[in-house]
């Protein structure tokens, strides 16, 4: 068929459809190109495609920056090169694709490997790509979260450290709270012991006052009956001695607590000290009807000790055993030398000691039984004093008991002297009473009764006595009376005893007198101040008349 040379006419509707399709295809091409450029230009994310077998087919700048591979180096390689060897050995890359193929998506956090072998913490999202049910491959988006991971780890470390410190502080606060509660409980217990001690002290000091008052009344009513007067005097002497012991114990404990008590050591035989202690407690033993047995070493045991304090130790222990044993009980004292020490045991059949109380037995104010339950008295300081004195001698003391009603045993250990020394020569006792010319004694004290009674005692034994009632009067009396000995109280009104002594020494003939301080202040500092003021001797109230007369006889030879 011959050509007519004319272009075939196209149906306008067909042309419009074709133009629309071409336009759509161009728009899709441009969109895909734009998306490709967008994906390839992203630098913060590694975005690439994998074929169904995990082979890398595309690569963007973010992947190159994060993982270190260029496009030429990575296209066609399996994506498992991004995983640590242990993950590859466990089949982890294939597991990710398997899950993504089954569920359409897989997300994971974990360590991944760069080209240079370094690892980074990554967030990985794998999305499955299908086309009409056919698996085309996978898209994979990876974010480098290493800095975030490190920050989280540092924060976690800080949190862990903070939590550890909080736990330590909590434990410390708990410990401090427990210690504080224990201290509060101890202080409360000490406060209770102190209150009981003060109540007991008042009780013990009042106890001797009642018989003293009754004895005084008896003396007033029985002027003509020498037997009753003798009994009254005996009662007064015993009760006064009891009060003196209480006060001396208190002062001794105070000195030991403040490290002020000084021992006057000499060579002492143990048996002598024990015998003196037994004599001291004999009246109490006889009153209670106890049986006391003593077992001492056959050979003499010598100690370097203060004889007075050594006797005081055993007296307190025996007194304690006697007091806490029911009438008719048994007290046994046994001594045994063991090597370089001697062990003295005092065992009784008394009320016993509970296991709870044993550790506190030698503490101040410690009482085996409440004060109201006892009729034998006691301040709760005797054993504390014993411990202090024993330790000053280089020894130790301990207590044992099987419990209530099982008796108790107190054991003292003391170091034995290296070798017995020859007995010190005893100075010749000065028993002479004033004879011939009467020696002059000045007594100065603001306590009128004390001055009057002491003056009567000294006049009775032959001294000429002058009295004064304050410091100024004492100084004046010393100037006119010119005594051989002046007995001066310290706490006097107007002028205290220290100043009075200084002024007396400044007077003509003042240094010819013997000045004796008689005072209730008996600490070492008080004695030092007395010496500095010019006193020759220091006596602590109440003064035993026999000791005073012995001192006067000695200084007035």
Indicate whether 7 belongs to any domain.
no
Asked whether residue 272 falls in the same domain as residue 372, the answer is yes
Same domain, 249 and 285: no
173 and 138 in a single domain? The answer is: no
Same domain, 273 and 369: yes
Task: Report the chain's mean pLDDT, rounded to a whole number.
Answer: 82
Higher pLDDT, 202 or 28: 202
Same domain, 274 and 401: yes
The answer to whether position 393 is within a domain reads yes
Residue 358 resides in a domain = yes
Look up the CATH number of the domain holding residue 195. 1.10.287.130
The pLDDT value given to residue 520: 75
In 3-state terms the chain splits into helix, strand, coil percentages (rounded to 5) of 50, 20, 30
pLDDT in the model for residue 436: 44
Count: domains in the chain: 4
Q: Please give the residue range of the domain that contains residue 453.
A: 440-555
13 is a domain residue: no
Q: Would 551 be classed as within a structural domain?
A: yes
pLDDT the model gives residue 545: 77
pLDDT of res. 425: 43
Judgement on whether residues 198 and 93 belong to the same structural domain of the protein: no
**In terms of domains, do 382 and 361 share one?**
yes
Same domain, 128 and 179: no
| CATH code of 105's domain | 3.30.450.20
Q: Which single residue is written with the structure tokens 């190109």?
A: 33
Both 278 and 218 in one domain: the answer is: no
- Residue 467 and residue 338 in one domain: no
Q: What is the CATH number of the domain that holds 316?
A: 3.30.565.10
**Is 297 among the domain residues?**
yes
What's the pLDDT tens digit per position in 146-199?
Answer: 999 899 889 999 999 999 999 999 999 999 999 999 999 888 877 776 766 666
What digits encode the pLDDT tens for the residues 412-448? 999 999 864 444 444 433 333 444 457 999 999 988 8
Residues 6+ apart with CB under 8 A from 327: 288, 289, 290
Global confidence as pTM: 0.45
Residue 141, classed as helix, strand or coil, is strand
CB distance 554 to 430 below 8 Å:
yes
d(CA 185, CA 356): 15
Specify whether 284 is located in the same domain as 401.
yes
Specify whether 479 is located in the same domain as 453: yes
Percent of the chain with pLDDT over 90: 42
């Amino acid at each position: 068929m011959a050509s007519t040379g004319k272009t075939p006419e196209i149906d306008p509707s067909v042309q419009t459809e074709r133009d629309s399709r071409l336009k759509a295809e161009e728009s899709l091409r441009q969109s895909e190109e734009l998306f490709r450029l967008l994906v390839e230009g992203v630098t913060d994310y590694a975005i690439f495609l994998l074929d169904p077998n995990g082979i890398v087919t595309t690569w963007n700048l973010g992947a190159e920056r994060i993982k270190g591979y260029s496009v030429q180096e990575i296209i066609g390689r399996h994506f498992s090169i991004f995983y640590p060897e242990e993950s590859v050995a466990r089949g982890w890359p294939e597991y990710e694709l398997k899950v993504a193929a089954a569920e359409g998506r897989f997300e994971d956090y974990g360590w991944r490997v760069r080209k240079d072998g370094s690892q980074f913490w990554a967030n990985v999202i794998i999305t499955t790509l299908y086309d009409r049910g056919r698996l085309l491959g996978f898209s994979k988006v990876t974010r480098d979260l290493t800095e975030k991971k490190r920050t989280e780890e540092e924060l976690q470390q800080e949190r862990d450290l903070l939590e550890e410190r909080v736990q330590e502080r909590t434990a410390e606060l708990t410990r401090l709270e427990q210690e504080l509660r224990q201290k509060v409980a101890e202080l409360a217990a000490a406060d209770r012991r102190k209150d009981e001690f003060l109540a007991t002290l008042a009780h013990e000091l009042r106890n001797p006052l009642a018989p003293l008052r009754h004895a005084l009344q008896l003396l007033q009513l029985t002027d003509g009956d020498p037997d009753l007067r003798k009994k009254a005097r005996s009662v007064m002497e015993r009760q006064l001695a009891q009060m003196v012991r209480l006060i001396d114990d208190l002062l001794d404990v105070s000195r030991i607590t403040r490290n002020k008590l000084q021992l006057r050591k000499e060579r002492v035989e143990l048996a002598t000290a024990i015998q003196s202690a037994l004599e001291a407690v004999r009246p109490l033993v006889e009153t209670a009807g106890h049986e006391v047995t003593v077992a001492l070493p056959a050979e003499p045991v010598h100690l370097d000790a203060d004889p007075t304090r050594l006797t005081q130790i055993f007296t307190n222990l025996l007194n304690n055993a006697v007091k806490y044993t029911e009438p008719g009980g048994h007290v046994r004292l046994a001594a045994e030398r063991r090597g370089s020490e001697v062990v003295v045991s005092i065992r009784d059949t008394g009320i016993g000691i509970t296991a709870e109380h044993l550790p506190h037995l030698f503490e101040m104010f410690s009482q085996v039984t409440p004060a109201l339950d006892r009729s034998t008295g006691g301040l709760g300081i005797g054993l504390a004093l014993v411990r202090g004195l024993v330790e000053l001698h280089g020894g130790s003391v301990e207590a044992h008991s099987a419990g209530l009603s099982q008796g108790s045993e107190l054991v003292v250990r003391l170091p034995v002297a290296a070798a017995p020394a020859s007995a010190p020569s005893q100075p010749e006792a000065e028993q002479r009473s004033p004879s011939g010319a009467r020696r002059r004694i000045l007594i100065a004290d603001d306590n009128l009764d004390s001055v009057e009674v002491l003056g009567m005692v000294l006049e009775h034994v032959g001294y000429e006595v002058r009295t004064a009632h304050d410091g100024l009067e004492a100084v004046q009396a010393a100037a006119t009376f010119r005594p051989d000995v002046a007995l001066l109280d310290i706490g006097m009104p107007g002028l205290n005893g220290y100043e009075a002594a200084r002024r007396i020494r400044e007077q003509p003939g003042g240094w010819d007198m013997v000045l004796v301080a008689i005072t209730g202040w008996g600490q070492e500092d008080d004695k030092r101040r007395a010496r500095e003021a010019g006193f020759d001797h220091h006596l602590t109230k109440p003064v035993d008349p026999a000791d005073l007369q012995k001192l006067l006889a000695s200084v007035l030879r």
